[in-house]
Amino acid sequence: MNLRRVRADFPVLSAADGHPGPVYLDSACMSLVPRPVLRAMEEYYTEYPGCAGRSLHRFAERVSAGYEGARERFAKFLGRKDPAGVVFLRNATEAINLVGQGLPWRRGDRVVISDREHNSNLVVWQRLAVERGVRIEVVPLPDHDPFDEEELEDHLRGRVRLVSLFHTSNLDGSTLPVRAITERAHDHGALVMIDGCQAAPHRAVDLDRLGIDFYAVSGHKMLGPTGTGVLAADPSALGQIRPLLLGGETVESTTLGTHVLRPPPYRFEAGLQNYAGVLGARAALDYLSAIGLEAVEAQQRSLNSIVTRALESEPRVHVLGPPAPEDRPSIFAFALDGIDPHDAALFLDEGHGVLVRSGLHCVHSFYAARGLPGNVRASFYLYNDRADAEALVAGIEELLERVPDRPSSGTSGAMTGGRPRSARARRRVAGSRGAAFRSAPPPRRAGSGRGGSAAGSD
Ligand SMILES: Cc1ncc(COP(=O)(O)O)c(C=O)c1O
């Protein structure tokens, strides 16, 4: 992979107005968008802004072909032979809701999840438990040891209808053995849904081979535009799902009293769709495929190793998840003794131009169960380079130096006293936000800071 060329494809990474470009380490939340994706969307709006599958004019013909081509592209990318299993949606959350709310549940049916699921793969089951008598079985995941298949087996006894687990964790970047999980679940007659949000952008997935029934991904974590998601289902499993929304495009025919639904996937795509987004997401897959996911993962492994090795002898840095960076290539999540995660994130941005995420990462249940205030999460993607990894390390080291590890010390002193040392950091503080940063405590989000709940809504 030619990293310089890749970086040049992402306009937001360019330096501007004398400021260096950002060190963007929040791709697990959403990835950046390269020029070919922007171009695909602009082309749609400037050359053929029509609706697919309705009108017969030339715009409509072109967008229909592009939209269905995108379906085929997603099917190929994710290892589905039949594109009819690919449903375009707003995001992965909608994909999980479609399955959760669309399966024909009976009171007493069980759904198996882990204790580290994103809220998007938790709340939907909680509602089903309250309203439809579905029982939630929670498999506790070990902190460092490999996934315990026997533990899963214990939870598969009884009437398990669905196993719904993440593929790669958005908390720490570790990956579950989804093939073995799927085999065991199928042996017990359960369907399998995998939340692939943090896996599909980074590693090749072959869904037909893995036997996974439902797989949810978001386009905006794999170089696509926001508001694009896909449910990549096995067509026979998809046939068991009731649509969430009904209306235009979902029906073959209607009378005033009845309707006949179209076959999947069309019955699930109600109303006018996000054509520009889907066409952009298609271009994103082309971009990723041209680079190759193996190269993407290798790059992340190497950056994560740089950061892990540089900080491993620092006793105040606690890395979440498996100790070896190879086992969590896309994510370096950490806590710093004596420093609130939100304060750390603000410091890294203000002082070093390093953009990370802090808080509970939509896995409130994990932190609540452990009484922890959250973490800082740096996540890598194909446009990150060695300098990015080094900037993160420099930022963390400087923060640790500024904030002594005293249980009673506040962290805002670190934000306000003195100036950041690095040249890059000095350039950053020259602006107006930098002036505020030097003269006053950094803006605090609700709940941030020691003693606050630090929960926020994240
Ligand atoms: C593991 C995981 N699942 C689900 C989601 C929700 O994805 P979306 O925003 O596409 O609904 C995310 C987003 O961060 C995630 O990381």
For 193-233, the pLDDT digits (tens) are: 999 999 999 999 999 999 999 999 999 999 999 999 999 99
Which pLDDT tens digit goes with each residue over 6-65? 999 999 999 777 778 999 999 999 999 999 999 999 999 999 999 998 889 999 999 999
- Spell out the residues 6+ positions from residue 260 whose beta carbon is closer than 8 angstroms to its own: 251, 252, 253, 254
Distance 218 CA to ligand 1 centre (A): 7
User: Could you tell me if 191 and 319 are in contact, meaning their C-beta atoms sit under 8 angstroms apart?
Assistant: no
Question: Is the model's pLDDT at 410 over the cut of 80?
Answer: no
| Measured distance CA(77)–CA(102) in Å, rounded | 25
User: Could you tell me if 229 and 94 are in contact, meaning their C-beta atoms sit under 8 angstroms apart?
Assistant: yes
pLDDT above 70 coverage of the chain, percent: 88
Domain ranges (residues) in the chain: 3-30+292-439, 36-289
Residues with CB under 6 A from ligand 1: 29, 91-93, 118, 120, 166, 170, 195, 197-198, 218, 229, 362
- Tokens 């179209």 map to which residue? 262
Which pLDDT tens digit goes with each residue over 305-336? 999 999 999 999 999 999 999 999 999 999 99
The closest residue, in CA terms, to atom 7 on ligand 1 is 92
Residue 406's pLDDT band (boundaries 50, 70, 90)?
A: low
- 166 CA: nearest ligand 1 atom: 1
| Residue 323, CA distances (Å) to 143, 251, 297, 309, 333 in order | 10, 52, 17, 10, 11
Question: Is the model's pLDDT at 451 over the cut of 80?
Answer: no
Domain 3-30+292-439 matching CATH 3.90.1150.10: the answer reads yes
Which pLDDT tens digit goes with each residue over 223-248? 999 999 999 999 999 999 999 999 99
Distance 216 CA to ligand 1 centre (A): 9
- 218 CA: nearest ligand 1 atom: 10
What's the whole-number average pLDDT of the chain? 89
Which pLDDT tens digit goes with each residue over 82-91? 999 999 999 9
Active site residue 362: yes
- 120 CA: nearest ligand 1 atom: 4
Question: Is the model's pLDDT at 423 over the cut of 80?
Answer: no
Distance 243 CA to ligand 1 centre (A): 21
Distance 354 CA to ligand 1 centre (A): 22
Q: Of 458 and 412, which is predicted with more confidence?
A: 458
Pairing of strands 23-24, 354-355: parallel
* Ligand 1 pocket: which of 116, 228, 362 to mutate (most atoms within 8 A of CB): 362
Distance 116 CA to ligand 1 centre (A): 13
Q: What average pLDDT does this structure show over 362-384?
A: 93
* Ligand 1 pocket: which of 198, 274, 331 to mutate (most atoms within 8 A of CB): 198
Neighbours of 51 (CB within 10 A): 16
Give pLDDT, residue 17. Answer: 73
The closest residue, in CA terms, to atom 16 on ligand 1 is 170
**Residues forming beta bridges with residue 229, ordered by sequence position:** 89, 218
Distance 122 CA to ligand 1 centre (A): 12
Give pLDDT, residue 144. Answer: 81
- Tokens 């715009």 map to which residue? 59
Q: Which of 2-6, 20-24, 405-409 has the lowest mean pLDDT?
A: 405-409
Residue 407's pLDDT band (boundaries 50, 70, 90)?
A: low
Question: Is the model's pLDDT at 250 over the cut of 70?
Answer: yes
Which pLDDT tens digit goes with each residue over 121-176? 999 999 999 999 999 999 999 888 889 999 999 999 889 999 999 999 999 999 99
Question: Is the model's pLDDT at 422 over the cut of 50?
Answer: no
| Measured distance CA(151)–CA(153) in Å, rounded | 5
Active-site option among 29, 51, 197, 362 = 362
Residue 453's pLDDT band (boundaries 50, 70, 90)?
A: very low
- 95 CA: nearest ligand 1 atom: 11
User: Could you tell me if 359 and 454 are in contact, meaning their C-beta atoms sit under 8 angstroms apart?
Assistant: yes
The closest residue, in CA terms, to atom 1 on ligand 1 is 170
Class of domain 36-289: alpha beta
